[in-house]
Amino acid sequence: MSFFKFKQFTIHQDKSAMKVGTDSILLGSWLTINKECQTVLDIGTGTGLLALMVAQKSNLVRVTGLEVDENSYHQAKYNVKHSKWFDRINLCLINANHWESKIKFDLIISNPPYFTPSSISNNEARNKARQQGTLSLNNLIDLWLKLGSNIAEYACVLPTDQANRLIDLCKESSLHLKKQTLIRSNNQSKIIRKLLLFSKQTLPTEETEVCIYNSKRDYTKAFTELTQDFYL
C-alpha cells in the first residue's frame, strides 16, 4: 500500500523501507501527553507517523523527529508538510547516536529496531531500519539520559523478550517503569508486544492488557477504543 489514511492525516510510504504497522499505531494511540510536556523527540521517525500522532494529541508540544534512512526521511518530510501540524514538527536526517541538541526533551518516544542479525531480509534499507546494530537498547537508554529533561518520560514498544531486557537495563540506570501495557493478538495467544513508559521518578507500575482481535478475527472493543482518535 503506497499510502495509509488516518482520520486527520495521511502517511505516504511508497519510498520508505518501514511501512505503517500496528506497533506504531498502538504506541502513538497509547501515549498520554502531560500538561507540562512542551518538547517531544521521536527517535527513528520513519514516515513520521508517531510525530504526527503526538502533534495531533497536543496543540502545545513541538516535535523533533530523527531518521537515519534518507528515503524515509524525505517521505516523512512530505507527510509532515501536507499535515495541519507542519509548523510544530522538525525532522533531521541523522544517526541519533551522532546528534547533538541544544534543548532537552520532556518526552522521548521510539518504535526502536529490534531484529537480530539472523533476521536479515533482502531489503537493505529495511535491514538498516530494523537491525539492532543500528540502535541497541543500551544506545537507546544513553540517548534518553543524554537528551531527556528533568521531567522527562520515555516511551517505546518492543517484543516481549526485548522489552524485559530493556526493563532490566533501565533499572541499572535508575529509570523506573511507570506503565506497561501487554499486547496479545487474541485471548489465547502469548504476549507479543509491550508498551513501556519509563520515568526518573519512583512510582508504582501501572499494568494493563489489550487484545487486538477477538475470536472472530474482528478488532476488539479495547483496541478500537484505544486507536479511535486516529484509526478506527
Which CATH number goes with the domain that contains 110? Answer: 3.40.50.150
Tell me if 22 is assigned to some domain: yes
Q: How many domains does the chain have?
A: 1
Task: Read off φ and ψ for residue 28, nearest 5 degrees.
Answer: -65, -35
Q: Which residue has the higher pLDDT, 17 or 139?
A: 139
pLDDT greater than 70 at residue 66: yes
Q: What is the DSSP track for 50-81?
A: HHHHHHHH-SS-EEEEEES-HHHHHHHHHHHH
What's residue 112's pLDDT? 83
How far the first Cα of the chain sits from its last, in Å, is: 18
What's residue 143's pLDDT? 96
Pick the range with the lowest mean pLDDT from 103-107, 118-122, 184-188: 118-122
pLDDT greater than 80 at residue 126: no
CA 3 to mean position of chain CA atoms: 19
Tell me if 200 is assigned to some domain: yes
Tell me if 232 is assigned to some domain: no
Tell me if 80 is assigned to some domain: yes
Tell me if 151 is assigned to some domain: yes
The cell 518520560 sits on which residue? 153
Please tell me the pTM assigned to this model. Answer: 0.92
pLDDT greater than 60 at residue 32: yes
Domain residues for the domain of 52 are: 3-227
Give the pairing type, strands 191-199 and 148-158: antiparallel
Tell me if 107 is assigned to some domain: yes
Is 78 buried (19+), middle (13-18) or exposed (0-12) by CB count in 10 A?
middle
What's residue 121's pLDDT? 53
